[in-house]
Structures are given as structure tokens and as C-alpha cells.
Chains A and B, each alone.
Chain A
């Protein structure tokens, strides 16, 4: 088993499937899957539409250890109906959050909780376009249950988000990813609400050409999200890079993890208002306009540099409330 684990560490995170990511983000041999494919708890809604179901409904959930921290891991599979959230998929995610909370309570009350036994953390690897249209209503409702469960976990279970898959994280799952404590992205990862194709359809090809990969990535890609602080870390597209960062963050005290949040308090709303102000009245045409405002100069060089150099030199959005330093 360790051989498999070792092999996966050097592979691109983006190329691995959801189960491999969940398995390899945990310590070797620590991952226990819940509702594994053997349970065959598939979507009953897809077959009548002529869509073959998948045994895990496109999401892998399980328990493991990341460093010393017990973790509940959720990993979405974008190869199956675009990672779309349907009834089973959504309820599995909601239950993972609730079980993480329960695990935390049990760890604190029934297990010896010495300094180094760590705390339960939740790790979610997003790879989804949001609601699965074939089960749209149930998928939408599941999103609201996830957001509520996140709020219930606040101050109790730290939530670490990971975006490094080929689809990225779009639609309603964009809300969810922005509500985690710490978000880790790679260059491959993208985060947004409306997908490029839909924007093009609504605003026109002249303004947004969805086929222009560079434009798409600098609008929603990991580098831009790192600059706007939606992503706390940008890492190489390897399994190892993601795993090491997750383990590191999971070992932090809860307060330190929570301090990385970008939304979830009244003050953070005031901060975001200040960011939005920069874009009003068409002041921003391109993400790079924003990069310049934050003091980035040789942007093309920054864009082409490798991830560690980028992370070291990028000037990021200076957080602050409206009125703080205008």
C-alpha cells in the first residue's frame, strides 16, 4: 500500500482521481472510506434519463490522519457528470461536515486529548461545476445544507479547502469554497461562480472569449485568487505539495486557521466592500488591472515565473476595512 502512496506523491494532483487524492492526502495507510463503491448507493434519478450512475456518485468521503490531525476528507470527482452535486453527492458532503463535528466532540470528551493528539479538521477537495442539472433542485438544497453545516462548524472544526482539479470549483460550490478557513490552490485550479462559457454567452465574445485559456486562467485561476487572497496558498501541481500544505495547516491552532478566513464576520464584509469599490464603474477591465493596483509591476514575468517565485514576489490585496487607510 505504501508503494502506491509513494508513487502518487510525485504525480500531478490534477491527474489523480478523487479517490487517489483522498487516499494520498492522508498519511500512508490511514484512509478509511465511508460509503465506498461497494455500498452501491447510486443516484436513482440518473438511469431514467439514460445516464449511467457511478457507485460513489462522484464523491469520495472518508476518515484519515494528516500529520497528527484526524481528518475527515471529502473529494469530488469531476470526471463523473462534471463533479455535479446531486442528491447523494450533496448529502454525503453535508454528512461529512456533521460527522467531523461529531468526531471533534468525541475526541475531546472520550479520547486522551494531549497537546500532540491534534484536533479534527475537515479537508475538502473541490472539483465541480456546482449543481448537477439532472438533480438540480436536490443539488441546490444540498448547497444550503453545506453552508449551514459550515457555520455550525465555526470555531469547532477547521475547514481546509483544496482546488487543483481540472474542472476547478464553480457554481454554488464557489460560495462553499470561499467559506472555508484556509484555501489551497494550484496553477491548474480555478475558482469562480459563473463558468467562462456562460459569461461569454451573456456579455459577448468581444468582452469575454471563453476559448481564450490565458484570459480564463487569469480571471479565475489560482494565481489571481492568491493575489486577491481568496486562496491563502498557491502550491505546485503535485500530490505531495498539496498533502504537505494540508498537514501543515491542520497542525496549526484553531485560532490561527480561522484568522485566514475572508468572509464570515461583519468586519470581513466591510473589507470586501473595499475590494469591490476598486472595480466599480468599469475601473477594472482585466484581473491584471487589479494586480497593478496592488503594486505588481512586471506582471508578465510574474505570470510566467514558477509557483514558488510567484508566491514570494506577488503583491497581494492589502486587507483592510473601508475607511481604514483611504
Chain B
């Protein structure tokens, strides 16, 4: 019954341009969905941390894959990403991540 907590860390090159937003938020916690909160770490940080809280226990490797892919394509650096998940499928997770990516580029 308890929730599972996962944590991933990624290292990269610090962003050069940092304007537009301090934090972003997308999604909802409801069955089959999730919310994602992104906060920028102080400038020059080259580490991104991702913390996931999920009610679906035992899917650590799937999360790893989805997040790896996102981090590789988006080159997100110097951020903390917080995810509250209520059993979203990988497809929904990807959908929310791309929504997040859009917000990152718009703002």
C-alpha cells in the first residue's frame, strides 16, 4: 500500500541562457495521471535531480528509461524535477513530459 519513492540524478553542461521561468508545473494527481514540478537550481549547477513519488510500486526500471530519454533529448540541466504519480502509463508520462518541454520553450 505504501508509496514508492525513486530518485535519479543527471550531470550535464550548465545552461547558458536562463530566463523566463523559475518553476513550471503541469498535470494532476489522479488515477492514471501525474503532476510534474520543475524548479531551477542556482545558476551554474550542472546536476539535475528527479524525485518521483508513485503509488505504482515496482516500476523503477520503466521510470529510468522514460526519464533517461527525456533528459537525453531535452538536455535539461540544473533543475530539480518533482513527480507525483498515481499510476500513469508510460504513454501518459511521456505526454506530460512533452507538455512540460513545450512550457519550457514557450516561457
CB–CB under 8 A between A and B in the complex?
A: yes
Residues of A within 8 Å of B85, CB to CB, are 52
Number of interface residues of A (CB under 8 A): 18
Contact of B2 (CB < 8 Å), options: A17, A38, A50, A79: A50
A-B contact pairs, 13 of them (CB 8 A): A17-B28, A37-B23, A37-B25, A38-B37, A40-B82, A47-B3, A50-B3, A51-B55, A52-B53, A52-B86, A54-B28, A54-B29, A79-B33
Please classify how large the interface on chain B is, using the bins under 10, 10 to 19, 20 to 34, 35 or more: 10 to 19
In whole angstroms, what is the CA distance A47 to B30 when docked?
14
Give residues 232-264 of A contacting B (CB, 8 Å): none
Cβ of A128 to closest chain B Cβ, rounded Å: 14
19 additional A-B residue pairs with CB within 8 Å, beyond A53-B29, A54-B29:
A19-B25, A37-B25, A37-B37, A38-B37, A40-B37, A47-B3, A48-B1, A48-B2, A49-B1, A50-B1, A52-B29, A52-B54, A52-B55, A52-B85, A54-B28, A54-B35, A54-B84, A55-B35, A55-B82
- Are A52 and B82 within 8 A (Cβ)? no
The interface bits of chain B over 8-35 (1 if a CB of A lies within 8 angstroms of the residue's CB, else 0) are 0000000000000001010011100101
Q: Are A38 and B39 in contact (CB under 8 A)?
A: yes
Asked if A47 and B84 make an inter-chain contact with CB atoms under 8 angstroms apart, the answer reads: no
Interface 1/0s, chain A 78-96, versus B by CB < 8 A?
0110000000000000000
**Which residues of chain B come closer than 8 Å to A79, judged between CB atoms?**
28-30, 33
List of B residues within 8 angstroms of A77 by Cβ:
28
Q: Nearest residue in A to B57 (C-beta to C-beta)?
A: A50
- When distances are taken between beta carbons in the complex, the residues of chain B under 8 Å from A17 are 28
Kindly state the separation between the CA atoms of A298 and B52 in the bound complex, as whole angstroms.
Answer: 56
* Complex alpha-carbon distance, A80 and B34, angstroms: 10
Task: Give complex CA distance A19, B25 in Å.
Answer: 10
The residues of B that contact A19 with a CB separation of less than 8 Å are 25
Which residues of A45-64 have CB atoms within 8 Å of chain B's CB atoms? 47-55
Docked Cα-Cα span, A231 to B2, in Å, equals 43
A49 CA / B84 CA spacing, docked (Å): 15
Interface residues of B (CB under 8 A from A): 1-3, 23, 25, 28-30, 33, 35, 37, 39, 53-55, 82, 84-86
A interface, CB within 8 angstroms of B: 17, 19, 36-38, 40, 47-55, 77, 79-80
| Closest CB in chain A relative to B62 CB, distance in Å | 17
**Interchain CB contact under 8 A, B53 and A55:** no
Q: Sorted from nearest, which 4 A-B pairs have the closest CB atoms?
A: A50-B1, A54-B29, A79-B28, A52-B86
From residue B82, how far is it (CB to closest CB) to chain A in Å? 7
CB neighbours of B55 from chain A (8 A): 50-52
The answer to whether B28 and A47 touch across the interface, beta carbons within 8 angstroms, is: no
Query: B59 to nearest A CB, angstroms?
Result: 13
B23 touches A38 (CB 8 A): yes
Which residues on B sit within 8 Å (CB–CB) of A36? 25
Query: In the docked arrangement, what's the CA distance between A55 and B2, Å?
Result: 18
State the Cβ distance, A53 to closest chain B Cβ, in Å.
6
Distance in angstroms from A18 CB to nearest chain B CB is 9
Which residues of B are found within 8 Å of A48, using beta-carbon distances? Answer: 1-2
Q: Which residues of B contact A80 (CB under 8 A)?
A: 28-30
Closest residue on chain A to residue B25 by CB atoms: A37
- A53 lies within 8 A of B25 (CB): no
Instruction: Report chain A residues within 8 Å CB of B82.
Output: 40, 55
Name the A residues within 8 Å of B29 (CB-CB): 52-54, 79-80
Distance to closest chain B CB from A28 (angstroms) = 16
Please indicate the chain A residues that have their CB under 8 angstroms from the CB of B35 in the complex: 37, 54-55
Bound-state Cα–Cα, A49 to B2, Å: 7
Instruction: Identify which of B28, B53, B55 gathers the most chain A CB atoms within 10 Å of its CB.
Output: B28
**Complexed CA–CA distance, A247 and B29 (Å):** 31
The chain A residue with its CB closest to the CB of B84 is A52
